[in-house]
Structure 1
Amino acid sequence: MKTGNKTEGTGEEFLAFRLGGEEYGVDILKVQEIRGYENVTQIANAPAYLKGVVNLRGIIVPIIDLRIKFRQDKINYDQYTVVIIVDLHDRTTGIVVDGVSDVLTLAPGQIRQAPQLSGETDYIRGIGSLESRMLILVDIEKLLDTEELAAIEAAAAA
């Protein structure tokens, strides 16, 4: 029996995605859909990581490139680049990633507490470990806090 994203007795489900050489995981219940990357309408004076907006079935959706937000050096858009449409603070938002691999179920024993690091890493919920894979588990709502989303909304409305 499923309750939320916890499957009774087995753990939590995460969508695994790649950014650079690292693999990340986000709560599957935050994910609405996965789309191929498409051209966006750019917004003047927006933060660099806000690529722009797209019209998704009548809803204007801001598109945030996590690769830029995470300060990755080389960012290429190719056939594997995808946009994960997520629900953040009751707002539909798209996040650009290098690719999506699969949905994983992690038991509580497979999720380790994130190391305490200085800087802006409070969005790291933990480290998931499954066989030879390690996933950085992201609390997507902490990654993009309400102030940032308000700034994005203001830029999109301008």
Structure 2
Amino acid sequence: MELNVNGVAHSIDVEPDMPLLWAIREVVGLTGTKYGCGVAQCGACSVQLNGELVRSCSIPVSVAAGQKITTIEGISKDSSHAVQKAWLALDIPQCGYCQSGQIMAAVALLKRVPKPSDADIDAAMSNICRCGTYQRIRDGIHVAAGQQKLEDVLKRYADTGVTGV
């Protein structure tokens, strides 16, 4: 079967019911997509399938065959996507484990809603962050959308004593 991952065709020989997550990580060799819960709840395994956010741990590879799969590695080759820039500038990750899934969800949200409200963000960002960086994630999305200036957010963090890792 053939997988189109980040614009590159990969011919793979796997069982059709193998979760897409494992095909991406173990067969294709892209390890940015993480295993979290295995039951499509946490979002660490989030990728885009034809532009729609999916949890790759629950999608059989046979369903994804022949479709366009985008992983965290496919967002940009040099961290130049607005969401990645905001994540880095605001020092959003703490442990970082969930962040590839968070970024994938934020990118998908901004494609659908270019200027999201807090309610839009809260509804769309269902991924779990064990470190609790939800406010920074929300700020990062607003910065990436051009709704807040990076300097203003950084100043607010400094004024309130919020620091990075």
Higher helix share: 2
Higher strand share: 1
TM-score of the two chains, using structure 1 as the length reference: 0.27
Q: Which has the higher contact order (CA 8 A, sep 6+)?
A: 1
